[in-house]
């Protein structure tokens, strides 16, 4: 049974105040949990990576073993799919953290790029968390 998630990172400035949003859906397509999280000052790419880490932590808490993630970050998707190399040291650390999480928890991840207009809910959560400078849970 494969669950799905929509993720997005947001940075008000680059770098600037940043956060991410995650919408997790069960294998029937029902939204199980939606979160937004403020992460402080970061680049948009860091916010996108932190969004995937937050998504994986949430999925792990529900015992998910197979997950399809949709993101509008072409860089994140192509780096995780091995199409682009991870060159920046600060992203290499986050990339390694993601791979460790996947390996240790035996999660099968399929990450796919989608257009921004199909990712509005995660985007709104990320922006709201930044505006409120807090964690949002629904």
Average pLDDT, the chain: 97
Over residues 76-130, the pLDDT tens digits come to: 999 999 999 999 999 999 999 999 999 999 999 999 999 999 999 999 999 999 9
What kind of fold does domain 3-137 have according to CATH?
A: Nucleotidyltransferase; domain 5 (3.30.420)
Which residues, including other chains, have CB under 8 Å from residue 68's CB and lie 6 or more apart?
A: 2, 3, 4, 5, 109, 110, 111, 112
Burial of 96 (0-12, 13-18, 19+ CB in 10 A): exposed
Confidence of residue 138 (pLDDT cuts 50, 70, 90): confident
Distances (CA, A) of 59 to 22, 42, 92, 105, 116: 10, 24, 22, 10, 22
């Amino acid at each position: 049974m494969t669950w799905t998630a929509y993720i997005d990172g947001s940075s008000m400035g680059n770098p600037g105040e940043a956060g991410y949003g995650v919408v997790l859906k069960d294998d029937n397509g029902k939204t199980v949990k939606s979160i937004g999280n403020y992460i402080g000052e970061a680049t948009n790419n860091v916010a996108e990576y932190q969004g995937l880490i937050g998504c994986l932590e949430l999925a792990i808490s529900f015992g998910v073993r197979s997950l399809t993630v949709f993101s509008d970050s072409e860089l994140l998707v192509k780096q995780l799919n091995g199409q682009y190399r991870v060159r920046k040291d600060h992203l290499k650390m986050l990339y390694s953290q993601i791979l460790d999480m996947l390996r240790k928890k035996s999660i099968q991840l399929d990450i796919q790029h989608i257009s921004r207009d199909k990712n509005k809910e995660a985007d709104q959560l990320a922006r709201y968390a930044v505006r409120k400078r807090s964690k949002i849970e629904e």
